[in-house]
Amino acid sequence: MKSKFLRVVLAIAAMYTFSALAQTSSAATPSSSSAAPTTPAATATAGTKVGTISIQDAIFGSNEGQRDMQALQKKLEPKSTELKSQNEELESLKKQLNNTSDKLSPDALENLKKQIEGKQKSFDRSYQDFQEDVQNQQQDIATKILQKMAPLIVKYSQENGFALVVDTSKTWPQSPVLWWDAERVDITKPVVEAYNVQSGVAAPAAPAVPKPAAPKPSSGVGAGATPKPTAPKPAEPPKQ
């Protein structure tokens, strides 16, 4: 539920960002065809040049994105460690129940089951809150970077004659793009390189220790790893 909400919010943010840029671009374009500058886009009469970009990879693959995600990871370490400890305690109690259920008195057995049930509910709530907090903070990072990266994507697309650029952060069938030749049409890498220069953020040092992971809930709720960043998807491409 939360992941879907995150995608919708970021898609809306992207839509307004790119729409505003498209309107600005259209207003700056001369109405007379004779006055139009000679650009790759203007001379591309053989067909429409289409490009692809993974917004997710562009945002979180940039130096700024990596830096901010590392900072977020460090910030989340205490809570992740706390959840791991809670999960280990819960697993220990369940193991105790499995190994001694036939040896305990009815009252002792009932008390152990209630203890496990209470700790399970507490853990599940804490884990869900943790997941939502992570996603909210990832959303903030992605939105902040996208607002600065979007003008660069539009500028790069126009200067290189692309009439349409589509987001490939997700694969088909989640994405309408069935197949593309990344070597020929993908602009993610040059956009990231250009954005790194624009932002002036140096490449962050590799983490000295493995990234902490949230524990896998004993009840099977969710996956064990910290949620993967969800990237915004432009709702409409830049207009020429």
CA distance 106 to 114: 12
What pLDDT is stored for residue 156 in this prediction? 96
Q: Which amino acid is at 200?
A: G
What pLDDT is stored for residue 46 in this prediction? 56
**Looking at 3-17, 108-122, 175-189, 196-210, which range is the least confident one?**
3-17
Q: How confident is the model at residue 176 (pLDDT cuts 50, 70, 90)?
A: confident
CA distance 52 to 170: 12
The residue ranking higher by pLDDT, 79 or 10, is 79
What pLDDT is stored for residue 15 in this prediction? 47
Mean pLDDT confidence for 65-92: 96
Beta-strand ranges (E) seen in the chain are: 50-53, 164-167
What pLDDT is stored for residue 26 in this prediction? 42
Mean pLDDT confidence for 217-239: 45
